Structure formats: structure tokens, C-alpha cells
Structure 1
Amino acid sequence: MEVTPALAIRSSVGIELWNSAGLKIPYVPNQNFPRDESKFCRAIVFSADGRFLAWANGTKVEICATKDWKIIFSLPRPKTFYLKFSPSGKYLVTWELFITTKDNAEGTPNLNVYSTADGNCIFSTIQKKNTDWEPHWSMDESILAFMVGGEAFFYETNEAKGFEKPAKKIGGARNGSISISPFGTNPYVAFHLPGAKGSPSMCKIFKYPDLQAAQPIGCKSFFQADRVEMMWNKRSTGLILLTSTEVDSTGASYYGKQALHFMSTRGDSFAVQLKKDGPIHSVSWNPNSTEFCVIYGFMPAKASFFNLKCDSTFDSDEGAINSIYYNPFGNLVILAGFGNLRGNVEVWDVAKKKIVSTLQAPDSTMLEWCQSGEIFVTATTAPRLRMSNGFKVWHYSGALLHETMWPEGQELLEVIWQTYPSGTFTEQPITNVKLEGIKSTQPQASAQAYKPPNARGINIPRPSTATNDNSIPVSAGRKDRRNRPRPASHSKNKSEENDDAKHNDSTSSNNAQSQKFRPISRDSAKKPSKPEDLEKAKRIRALNKKLSDISKLKTRRDKGEHLELNQVQKIDSETSLMKELNDLKIT
């Protein structure tokens, strides 16, 4: 029997589940799923093994079993921002904003671990930062680690008292970080120790439980690394280190510098040599763990594939690309250009290193492969883009299989594929025959170079400031959820067509999004009366400042100025910042 994964959808009007009865059959809402009609859903996630679906709706956290889509637990966590299942779904972790009060200067634990067997909270701790908040698990879930104040605490969950106190700890330096390898009963632990006062930064690899300073199996030192992103391959044989600085001390670039390093669990280490100057846009491991791909350089960028000795095995032609997406089997890879690029998508046969198909997905804010490895979804979502929201399902041959535009006045926030146990799908041969698809109702991106309105002598009127508490137009917020028009597959109404014509150019859509951001009103900025409100107001001011800076960067981008990678990354962070701002306003 053919298995066709469902799509879980989070929007400004709740949580829905959409199903398809086959590869060429359109997706429609699943009537068996208990649709959550809350307007304040902040997070949604499947467990990796596919047993559970969880979401936070602003009142509680719901967990349902995917075998029948029935809710099995409701957790009393109304302020939850983020959710994360452990590798096999035995635990669900929730995170909410950390707040202190006059009566509670130490604050209350804001990260909680729940058992999915009975819904009980088995562990709580304080995790102040919303960046890198996720706990670190070993694949068999026997080890759980948290970073607190630069120190990593390891809990052995297979012991009777595993959550009462940590079994191991490592670190202590400010801004240190760890990464646990995804394979093995006794996993590898990578620990990054930032440099200070002229000393280099250092990354060490340990084999758990041997975490003493003199026990690393590998060590790599490097200068110019304010921040290090650590990426393990699936088999835990190799580790990529993407280092970056806020400012380039050599003076070659005002905005910072990046470098790529490789470490193996055999003790080898290499600097990855790139063939073009400029920023590193994206790095990704092939799921087969034998190669990785890097997109780098000033536009047009280059994509290079490397083996485990860091030798370049293939270089693509230069193009408008900045994103890498391997399918789950690693036999296909997508090289795409999103964000401030036009949405070009190239699907490559990895073994033959040749293009299978090309397509256009302008204004896409996300792309995700289905676990089957043959189809993928692209979507235009808020708050990154608030207009022309919708999602499309594609076959790797380039055929468009499904298209749904979200109703006017509502916002599509997130689209994720249903997951399944390992082994549910098998790798299929790659075919050069294009599957028959449908014709998109959306206009293609303009081939002409974009000119901002002020360069065309056009005055930009001020946008309306009438919004409800979730930054949705007031008229949309008043609509009754049960009476809203259903998202139309393959067709659009007149108002949607007019919107598409107005926002044909992908860059102008990004510009329209930047105009949607507005600082908090004078009334909402009044001095709060409660200590927790003071903390919230302080965070809101900080978010508004960051979003204002991003708006200025987008204006510079739209005028044709070149932006460095860290500036593009700041623009890309707009989605999470606006999500946090919107959530703060409704709590």
C-alpha cells in the first residue's frame, strides 16, 4: 500500500492536517484530525519516529497520536514558544520565555521535559537564551545534556535517578558550546572553547563518558572565531566547524569573516579550502555521510562537493544559489536561491553530478523534502512574507503536483511533513522522465532587474497601523473561523489575482514585508505595572530595535547594494524575531 505523508499546517487561524490519497491527487484537509482553531498557535512538531504530533496553542500544549489523530495529553504550558521531541519520541521538551519578578528574582524554570508515556513532567531547569535553547540527546536517549553559563551538564536518563543530578559536566568558559554526535550508545561530544586575550579558540572531541581535559580524541585550534556552528554527519564519523566573527580584524571586510574546518573521530583535522572569495552561504552533509556540499562566494555563488579528506570532487557552475537541501537518501540534492534571490531551484542527481530538473519557486520562505525522497514542499509564510501566502508540492522531476493559496486576511505560518519510522520508505531509482503536473496559478518572477519605488519616482504611502494583538489586520481578526473560505486548490478568487499582480517581483514582496513591520504603539509602550511586564517590555524594545535595523538592511538590499553574509543572516532572522515579538504581544 502506498504511503503518502500528510502535511501539518500552522496558521493564524489554528492547526490543520492535510492529506493526499496518492502522488497525483491534491491535498485536502483531514476530517479525522481534531483541528485546533486557536489564533495563537506558536509551535508544531512531529516526533522523529512519527508516533506523535505536538503543538502549542497559547493555552496549552497538545499531543496527539498519529495512528488515529486523537489527543492523548494536554500539558499546562500556555506560554510555550518552542517544542522538541527526543530522538525516539520518549520525551517532549517545552521552552518558554524566562521571566523574573520582584518576588522571584531567581526566576522559574522555563524548560521542561515531559514523558510521552504518561504526560508527567520529569525534569525542569532554567534556560534563559532562546537561541541554542534545545537540549542535546544521544540517539538512544540515554544521555541528555544542557548548556548553562558556558558549562555542559550531562544526565544519564537510563539510571533510576538520572534527572536528579548530572552524572558529568564539562566546560565553564563563557560562550562555550557542545554538540553530541547522532550515532552510537556512547556518543562523541564536541566541545567548543572560545579564545580569549589573543589565545585561539579550540574545539575538542571526546568519547563519552571520558570528558577529562586530557582525554580528547581530537583537537582543532583556530583564530577569528567569535561563533562556531558544529555539524555532525549522520554516521558520526566527521564534524564540520563553520566559524565566524562579527568584525574582520584583517580589514579585508568590515562585516566579519568566516572559515570552514573539518574534524574526524579518528583524530584528523583539515581546513576546507574554498575556490572563491566571499561569504559562506550554506553547508550541508549528505545523509550518506561520505560527502558534504558548500555554497560560497560573492554572487553568483559556487557550489562545491567535498569528500572526507576535504578534497573537492565536483564544482557547479556559478549561479544565483544560497541554499542546499539533500533528500533523506542523499541521492538527490537541491541547490536553490531564496531570501533576497529569485527562487531558482535546481534538482541534482548526486551520483552523476548532473541537473535532473529546474523550476521556479519565487518568494519561498521554506523548502522541505518528504521522507519518501521523491517530493518536496515549498511555501511562502508569515511573518517573513505576509502576502501571497501558500504552499506547493513538487516532484523532483520538476512537476508541480499541488498548489494552495491561503485565503486573504489569514497568514500561513508553517508547513511540515509527517514523519515515519526508519525503513518505511526505500530509495527509488532516479528517472529523467518528467511526471505530469499542473500549471501554477501564480505569475512567474519578473526577469527585469528590480528598482525600488524611490528610484522610479514613486512616493510610498504610509501603511495602515490598525492591527489586533497578533499583528493581523483587524478585519481579518474578526472573521469567524468556521465561516472562513477554505483554501482553494489550483484556483484563486479575483482579489487574490489582484494581489499577485501587485507583488509579481519577489524582491518587491520582500520590500512589502519590511513595510508591514511597525514599532509598538505609544499606548502599548506605557510603563508596565508588574515586574514580569517590565521584562516583557524590555524584550519588546530590543526586538523592535533589531527589526528596525533589519528594515534598513532590506532597504539597502533593494537599492542594489551588496550585503555580506552576516547581514543576509540578520535579514533571515526576521521571521523568528517577528514571531517572538508577536507572541510577546499576546501573552
Structure 2
Amino acid sequence: MSFQLFAKTNSTVEVFQGYPSFEEISSSKSGNDGTEGKVIQSLLSPCGRFMAKSYESKVVLLIGETWEITLVELPLKNVYDLKFSPSGNFLSTWERPLVDDTEHLNCKIWNLNESPLSTEPKYSYKASTQSSWTLQFSKLDDYAIKSFGKELRIIKLSGEDTFKFDKPFATLTPDQPFTTYQISPAEHPTICTFTKEKSGKPAQLTIWPITTGKITKQIVTKQFFKADSCHLKWSDLGNAILCLTTTDFDHSNKSYYGENNLYLLSFQGVNGALGGESVRVSLGKEGPIHDFNWSPTSRQFGVIYGFMPATITFFDLKGNAIHSLNEQRKNTLEFSPNGKYILVGGFGNLQGSVDILDRHDKFRCISKFSATNTSVCKWSPGGEFILTATTSPRLRVDNGLKIWHYSGTLVFVKEYKELLKVDWRTNCPFRIIKDGYVTNGNKLKDEELKQDPKIRKHQLEIHPVVTQFNLKNPNKSSTNLGAKKTTGAYKPPHARKATVVPGTTKTRAPQSTPTPPLQQSAASQTSPEEKKIRSLLKKLRAIESLKVKQTEGVKLENTQVTKIQSEPKILKELELLGWKGELDS
């Protein structure tokens, strides 16, 4: 069984089996049939253990293979927002504030690892708005952060006294009041704060370590102008962060949304023990930044930027451009969870065209398809399938979900009158005990975890509903558009291989469409990454020659023996760079 699918409408919460059956395995109805009432909010935990659903008079927490077990019912009214901590150990709830009770603590936190689980919250506090109301937790749920005016307080979540913010483990009070902060997803977390430009003082971006007491050390910092707000995005390893800054107004009057800049801060070693760097990412084209995302390896990131058609460029950890694609009408970039594939799509007010690139094959486009009116796009946790959906209130027509194989083949589709939310259910790395409680540490072996089936395009099982959908909607038939044939780097006429025309003895150069000068220069340009691969391959060829001499009995010098011993290290570097071929001739 592959990963499950979760879909919420205004009256039901449905759970489907994944590829190939897509069988509906659970559906909790609400409304006028005498059941629990309308589901206000629903959410899956990042670890895949829990589903939380809020009703007008309670919050229900479910577990089990098909969410068949009710773990607890929390007596809460009008909960309009839910949030799980990264490891799924804590659930936070936000209730609509009471007009007649200004002292109402409308935010509550529940420890989900208690047995039995208490209906009393572990911590309560007040947040009048639904924006940024939740506490920030570290990746392992061992730290929590809360803002108290100009001060950040960090607590350690261990033992019974878990939420004692009056006795914090650490405090952070920057010289200038910060407007945004975010904890890193590292096992040894750090904190990034952003202070906006004000009264002639530049904006500032700083990474701080979490140390006992008052934090004063700065791992790395960057000051700059033209920044009224920002969006922070950590790499998966938590060793680098991207900051997209925006001004309230574009003084050049070229953009309604203000001016954008992208900054990169990175460091090496635990808490920056080996130093840090900060750079402004050089994009080289005017216009907005549409999207940016980290590779799961945390060694590269991609950016879509500029006025349409936009430019798509990939950068290394130092902010150097390693590869650029031709200008396209795209605004969405998503790496697959294993980092092998990259989805580049044009959604929103664009036509919905999608390209799938192979990162391990020099960003070659391997498939294309069209997913019009897409408002949600997510890779499956195993990196084999893609979920696209049209949801309300973004669009109130043509609501539904589609599942695509990365080869561009549509394998499942389901239409809804009103679809509000969709998501994948990740695999839970814990065993579920029969009495309904979940162990905390009895991890499954890797082979026991469910993974997406690794299948080729010709082996795909297409669900019958896809054929029905295409027949009913001939104008919306979303078949694989196919990938453009790659021609490789530009070659001058004298370097091209001659082809023999059948029935003649003459030869001619292959016919091809002339390449515009701009594309020729882009194709012939070698990226720093490719140069590095060529250099390493040259070293491997030299090692092969030395090994031949060694087998022939030739006595080698110490430096030559050392060079042979470096072969595993070179092969490892090539693997990290994505090289999977044989030695060049």
C-alpha cells in the first residue's frame, strides 16, 4: 500500500488509498444526518500519526490505519485553527476570541504523548488575531519559542514543567526590535531574526545560536536597505536560510507589489563554529521573485524571477549560479522529497503547464503535462507522484484533485462540487499499539515503511475514472505533452556527425531548426558544476593510467600512490554532483 490521500469538503473528510487502487477507505460525514455537525477545520500531523478535526463544540483527535480510533475529544468551542509541532508531539488550538471575555485564553497546547491523554491543556495563552498565533517548535520538539514584546523566550520541553516561560532556558533581545523570527529545522537549532528598515537605519538579518541564559553571540548577520517585510525559508539541514525581502512600494513604479531582493545566510559547524557567510543572491533581471525553494540535500536552491516570461536559475550554497533554464511562463518550483526531480509549473493566472526536470541528468526535462486551474501542488512523500488540485475559495468551479506520475501520466482524478483541502498522509515511523496509543521510540525498520512503488511509465495502472473524465471533458483532457528532445550543447557544422541518406553515397549534416543566438550562448555555456565534474573525471582518468602501470609492475612514487588512494573521495564528490555516467573517453 502506498501513501494515503486526504480530502476535505464542506460536508465530509475523506481518506483514499494511494496508487494503484485509490480506494476510499474512510469518509466521515457531517451536517443534517444526525452526526457530529460541520467540520470547521481538519489537519494531518507531519509525522502521519494523527488527524485533528474541530467542530463547533469539540476537537476530535484520531489515529489508526484509517483514522478509525478516537484518541481523545477535547471540550473546546469554535476552534478555527489547528497546528501540530514538527514531530507531532504537541497540538495547538486557536479559538475565536470572546467579545464579552477579554481575559479568555483562546490558545491552548496539548501534549499528545501522555497516556492516557488529558483533556486539560499543558499551556494556555491569548492571541487576538489568527496571524502568527502559534508557538514555534524545534524539529525534535525539544525547544519552544514565544515572543514577549521585544524579547524572545526559549524553553526546553522536558519533564513535567514543560511550558515555564517565566523561567526560560534562554532569552534573546536584539538591539533593534525584530519583526520576524524563525527557528531552524536542525537537530541543534538556531534562530533567525529580521528587523525591517526604519528611520534611515538599514534592515538586518541575523542568525543566533541557542545557548543558556541571555543570547548575545551572532553566528552571521547581514544589513541592507529596501526591506519592509520578509519571508524566511530554512534549508532542510538548518545550515542556511533564504530571506525574500519586499518593500511596501516600488519606487521605480514597475511593480504593484513592491521591490524584491533575495539574501542568503549560511554557516558551517554546530552553532556556526566553523564560520558563516552572507550574500545577496545576484539575479540579474528586474521584476518580482515568484518562487524559491531549497533542494532536500540543502546544497542547492532554485529561484523563479523577473517579469514574464520569467527566468529560472539554480544556485549553490554560496549563491553562485550553477544552471539556468530558458525563459518560461512559470511561477512555481518544487523539488521532489528525494531531490532527484524538480517540478516547474505555471499556476494561478498562468495556463497550468508543468515541466519535470531530472536533477541527476543536468536538469533535463523528462516530461510535460498541463494542470489547469491548479491551486494546490504537492509531491508524494516518496517522490513518485504529484498531487494537483483545484480548491475553494481560490476557485469555486472545476473543483477536484488529480494524481500524476512523474512521467507526466494522469493516473487518478476525482471531481468535487466544493473541495476545500487536500494533502498526502506521510508514513508514521512508529508502531500503533492495539489499545489505541502510539509508542514513542519503537521505530520501524526502513524496509517496513511504506514507499511509493518505483514503476516505469509503460507499467503504470491508469484508474478507470481517468478515461471517463477525458471522455466527459475532451477540452480538459490532460495527457502527457511529452518532453522536448534535448540536443545537448551547440556544435559548429564541422563538428557534427555526417548522416548517410539511403540510396545515395552523399552525406549531409542533420536538418535542425536554427537556434536563436541567445539560446546558443546559453546552451554552450558550461556551468561551474559541469566544470567541476570534468575536472574530477580528468583526475579519475589519470588514476586509471597509474593503476594500469601498477598492475604492470612499474614502481610508483609516493605521490602517485596517494593519488590512487584518493579515488573513493573523487567518486563520492562526483556522486554528490549528480554524475552517474562512465569515464569520458
- TM-score normalised by L of structure 2: 0.70
Alignment of 1:198 onto 2:194: no
Q: Say which of 421, 424, 429 aligns to 1:417.
A: 424
8 Å Cα contact 1:397/1:433 also seen in 2:
no
Alignment of 1:276 onto 2:285: yes
8 Å Cα contact 1:234/1:288 also seen in 2:
yes
- Distance of aligned partners of 1:276 and 1:431 in 2 relative to their CA distance in 1, 3 Å threshold: farther
**1:47-66 C-alpha deviation (Å, 9 max, x unpaired):** 22221111223332111113
Alignment of 1:386 onto 2:392: no
Q: Please state whether the residue corresponding to 1:195 is helix, strand or coil.
A: coil
Q: Distance in 2 between matches of 1:130 and 1:75?
A: 20
Post-superposition shift, 1:196?
1.8
RMSD of aligned C-alpha atoms? 2.8
Q: Please state whether the residue corresponding to 1:351 is helix, strand or coil.
A: helix
Match of 1:362 in 2: 372
8 Å Cα contact 2:80/2:94 also seen in 1:
yes
8 Å Cα contact 1:147/1:177 also seen in 2:
no
8 Å Cα contact 2:228/2:245 also seen in 1:
yes
Alignment of 1:112 onto 2:84: no
> Which letter does structure 2 place at the counterpart of 1:413?
L
- Distance of aligned partners of 1:252 and 1:322 in 2 relative to their CA distance in 1, 3 Å threshold: closer
8 Å Cα contact 1:280/1:295 also seen in 2:
yes
Matches within 5 A, 1:257-276: 257-265=259-267, 266-276=275-285
Gaps of 5+ in 1: 442-488, 507-587
Alignment of 1:161 onto 2:156: no
- Distance of aligned partners of 1:211 and 1:187 in 2 relative to their CA distance in 1, 3 Å threshold: farther
> Which letter does structure 2 place at the counterpart of 1:334?
L
Q: Distance in 2 between matches of 1:223 and 1:430?
A: 50
> Which letter does structure 2 place at the counterpart of 1:55?
K
**1:5-33 C-alpha deviation (Å, 9 max, x unpaired):** 1111110112121224xx333x23215x6
Q: Distance in 2 between matches of 1:211 and 1:286?
A: 34
- Distance of aligned partners of 1:146 and 1:373 in 2 relative to their CA distance in 1, 3 Å threshold: same
**1:401-429 C-alpha deviation (Å, 9 max, x unpaired):** 111111xxx41101111111465366987
Q: Say which of 42, 45, 62 aligns to 2:43.
A: 45
Q: Distance in 2 between matches of 1:388 and 1:238?
A: 40
Match of 2:409 in 1: 399
Q: Distance in 1 between matches of 2:239 and 2:395?
A: 39
Post-superposition shift, 1:338?
0.7
| Residues 202-211 or 330-339, more deviating | 202-211
Match of 1:84 in 2: 83
8 Å Cα contact 1:54/1:63 also seen in 2:
yes
Q: Say which of 1, 20, 23 aligns to 1:24.
A: 20
8 Å Cα contact 1:8/1:415 also seen in 2:
yes
Q: Please state whether the residue corresponding to 2:330 is helix, strand or coil.
A: coil
- Distance of aligned partners of 1:338 and 1:161 in 2 relative to their CA distance in 1, 3 Å threshold: same
Q: Please state whether the residue corresponding to 2:360 is helix, strand or coil.
A: coil
Q: Distance in 1 between matches of 2:81 and 2:183?
A: 20
Match of 1:226 in 2: 228
Q: Please state whether the residue corresponding to 2:328 is helix, strand or coil.
A: coil
- Using CA pairs below 8 Å that are at least 6 residues apart, which structure has the higher relative contact order? 1
Q: Distance in 2 between matches of 1:183 and 1:146?
A: 18
Q: Please state whether the residue corresponding to 2:389 is helix, strand or coil.
A: strand
Q: Please state whether the residue corresponding to 2:231 is helix, strand or coil.
A: strand
Match of 2:381 in 1: 371
Q: Find runs of 4+ consecutive structure 1 residues off by over 6 angstroms.
A: 426-430, 503-506
- Distance of aligned partners of 1:491 and 1:195 in 2 relative to their CA distance in 1, 3 Å threshold: closer
Match of 1:64 in 2: 62
Matches within 5 A, 1:462-477: none
Post-superposition shift, 1:80?
1.4
| Residues 377-386 or 107-116, more deviating | 107-116
8 Å Cα contact 1:147/1:178 also seen in 2:
no
Q: Distance in 2 between matches of 1:207 and 1:428?
A: 41
Post-superposition shift, 1:44?
2.0
Match of 2:462 in 1: 437
Match of 1:577 in 2: none
- Distance of aligned partners of 1:347 and 1:211 in 2 relative to their CA distance in 1, 3 Å threshold: farther
Post-superposition shift, 1:435?
3.7
> Which letter does structure 2 place at the counterpart of 1:386?
R
- Distance of aligned partners of 1:318 and 1:338 in 2 relative to their CA distance in 1, 3 Å threshold: same
Post-superposition shift, 1:491?
5.0
Gaps of 5+ in 2: 268-274, 430-445, 479-585
Higher strand share: 2
| Residues 312-321 or 165-174, more deviating | 165-174
Post-superposition shift, 1:132?
2.7
Q: Please state whether the residue corresponding to 1:363 is helix, strand or coil.
A: coil
Q: Distance in 1 between matches of 2:332 and 2:456?
A: 24
- Distance of aligned partners of 1:67 and 1:190 in 2 relative to their CA distance in 1, 3 Å threshold: same
Match of 1:98 in 2: 97
Alignment of 1:310 onto 2:319: yes
8 Å Cα contact 1:400/1:439 also seen in 2:
no
8 Å Cα contact 2:139/2:185 also seen in 1:
yes
> Which letter does structure 1 place at the counterpart of 2:202?
P
> Which letter does structure 1 place at the counterpart of 2:40?
R
Pairs aligned (count): 440
8 Å Cα contact 1:283/1:324 also seen in 2:
yes
Q: Say which of 168, 175, 186 aligns to 1:183.
A: 186
